[in-house]
Amino acid sequence: MKNKFITITTHIEGTPQESMFEIKTQILPPIESNDVIVKCLYISIDPYQINRMKHQSSSHTSVADASKITPGMEINSGGVGRVVASENSGYVKDDIVYGSLNWAEYTIVKNENTLRKLDTMEEFPLSYHLGIFGTSGLTAYGGFFQVCKPKKGEKVFVSAAAGSVGNLVGQYAKLFGCYVVGCAGTKQKVELLKEKLGFDDAFNYKEETDLNSTLQRYFPNGIDIYFDNVGGEMLEAAIVNMSPFGRVAACGAISHYTNSQKQATANMIDIVYKRIRIQGFLSTDFYTNDFKDFMSVTTDYVRAGKLCVLEDVSHGIESIPSAFLGLFQGENVGKKVVQIAQE
Ligand SMILES: NC(=O)c1ccc[n+]([C@@H]2O[C@H](COP(=O)([O-])OP(=O)(O)OC[C@H]3O[C@@H](n4cnc5c(N)ncnc54)[C@H](OP(=O)(O)O)[C@@H]3O)[C@@H](O)[C@H]2O)c1
């Protein structure tokens, strides 16, 4: 069977370009004992993959899914697919599964632990299992409730707030009873946050010249929780504006991923005297203890119309590189997914 897949042509250090990706065709080897062959229906497109594509990054030695990718290699990611052949007693043809699939039409899954059968919940699109019911949702839920440890009424600031994780953090925080301000990179995104997602306020960071005074304007009495998706100068400004005993959830640093000059220089004196806690975390930290609770709360909220689902879907395996590049240009609104095949 022929299989198209996407790979990189070179390690990527700065801003990714389309020319750094290529589509290749391979012939799938014969299925072996325990293998499951999965046809990919939807694949998740995520900023963290850029760190895997670098020569060197602490990503490479963190968790298996963030390990190094070298030119020519298949690129695995969260995906939803249909089993087309199985030599594994746990799976049969036509099972719908979630797992670590490749940026490819088909994936031979050799490690069944990276796969699980999906409770497809027919009222929802399968793609939701990559966003709101998947890693983005769990990251937002675990990051906000376990890392930030919010109290009702606290003041929360979220960056990349119209993105996949950010929009959910803001919505969970509002539902919990916090005051929430988000920032995003366009006027339309800012309107969406305020009009549709219920944020108390929002601003376009690209129009601001002095982020310290911007945050002072939105949080005259200080920020209790900063959910950081971007790092860089926004993190520096948030720290200056944190309240005593404020918490910073270091979820991601996208401004830094493609520009090493953007690394934040945090004001350590502020951190000491205001007793600010900054904690990094990975979504995998929450799978064992929080996944069940997260799914139950989140499905209830979506069914009740209390959580709005933002998805941004492109079509066809050829669109993967441009979908990925778009993340770093702010082109996506909500969860970026590529539909590779019809359900
Ligand atoms: N810790 C974890 O386990 C975990 C899990 C998932 C994601 N993450 C991290 O969380 C962050 C958000 O991920 P996501 O999947 O939800 O992606 P996303 O927010 O849906 O997409 C990325 C967004 O980041 C913004 N952006 C791009 N370049 C930027 C820059 N230089 N400065 C500021 N903003 C920029 C863009 O929105 P604008 O229009 O607003 O610029 C873009 O739409 C990323 O840093 C990601 O690595 C961490």
**Local confidence band at 176 (pLDDT 50, 70, 90 cut-offs):** very high
Q: Is the alpha carbon torsion for 187, 191, 197, 202 positive or negative?
A: positive
pLDDT, mean over the chain: 97
Q: Does the pLDDT of residue 343 top 90, yes or no? A: no
Q: How far is the CA of 159 from the centre of ligand 1 (A)?
A: 8
Please check whether residue 305 lies inside any domain of the structure.
Answer: no
Number of domains in the chain: 2
DSSP string of 28-66, one letter each residue: PPPP-TT-EEEEEEEEE--TTHHHHTSSS-GGGGT-GGG
Who wins on pLDDT, 181 or 122?
Answer: 181
Q: What is the pLDDT of residues 28-60, one digit of tens each?
A: 999 999 999 999 999 999 999 999 999 999 999
* Helix (H/G/I), strand (E/B), else coil: 43: strand
- In the chain, the percentage of residues whose pLDDT exceeds 90 is 96
Our mutation pick for probing the ligand 1 site, out of 230, 254, 314, counting the most ligand atoms within 8 A of Cβ, is 254
pLDDT the model gives residue 120: 79
Within 10 angstroms of residue 102's Cβ, the number of other Cβ atoms is 22
Q: What is the CATH number of the domain that holds 122?
A: 3.90.180.10
Our mutation pick for probing the ligand 1 site, out of 193, 229, 324, counting the most ligand atoms within 8 A of Cβ, is 229
pLDDT the model gives residue 122: 85
Q: What is the pLDDT of residues 189-239, one digit of tens each?
A: 999 999 999 999 999 999 999 999 999 999 999 999 999 999 999 999 999
- 103 and 67 belong to one structural domain: yes
Q: How far is the CA of 84 from the centre of ligand 1 (A)?
A: 33
Q: How far is the CA of 28 from the centre of ligand 1 (A)?
A: 34
- Supply the range of the domain harboring residue 238: 135-283
Residue with CA closest to ligand 1 atom 43: 330
- 75 and 195 belong to one structural domain: no
Which of residues 283, 302, 328 is at a domain's end?
283
pLDDT the model gives residue 130: 98
As a whole number, mean pLDDT of residues 162-188 equals 98
DSSP string of 138-204, one letter each residue: HHHHHIIIIII---TT-EEEESSTTBHHHHHHHHHHHHHT-EEEEEESSHHHHHHHHHTS--SEEEE
pLDDT the model gives residue 30: 93
Q: How far is the CA of 33 from the centre of ligand 1 (A)?
A: 39
pLDDT the model gives residue 199: 98
pLDDT the model gives residue 121: 83
Q: What is the CATH number of the domain that holds 190?
A: 3.40.50.720
pLDDT the model gives residue 76: 97
Please check whether residue 184 lies inside any domain of the structure.
Answer: yes
Q: What is the pLDDT of residues 71-123, one digit of tens each?
A: 999 999 999 999 999 999 999 999 999 999 999 999 999 988 889 999 878 89
- 127 and 251 belong to one structural domain: no
Q: Which one-letter DSSP state was computed for residue 111?
A: -
Our mutation pick for probing the ligand 1 site, out of 167, 230, 248, counting the most ligand atoms within 8 A of Cβ, is 230
- 124 and 250 belong to one structural domain: no
Contact status, residue 53 vs residue 11, Cβ threshold 8 Å: yes
As a whole number, mean pLDDT of residues 126-151 equals 98
Please check whether residue 291 lies inside any domain of the structure.
Answer: no
Please check whether residue 6 lies inside any domain of the structure.
Answer: yes
Pocket of ligand 1 (CB under 6 A): 46-48, 135-136, 139, 160, 162-166, 184-186, 189, 229-230, 251-255, 281-283, 327-328, 330, 332, 336
Q: What is the pLDDT of residues 267-291, one digit of tens each?
A: 999 999 999 999 999 999 999 999 9
- 103 and 178 belong to one structural domain: no
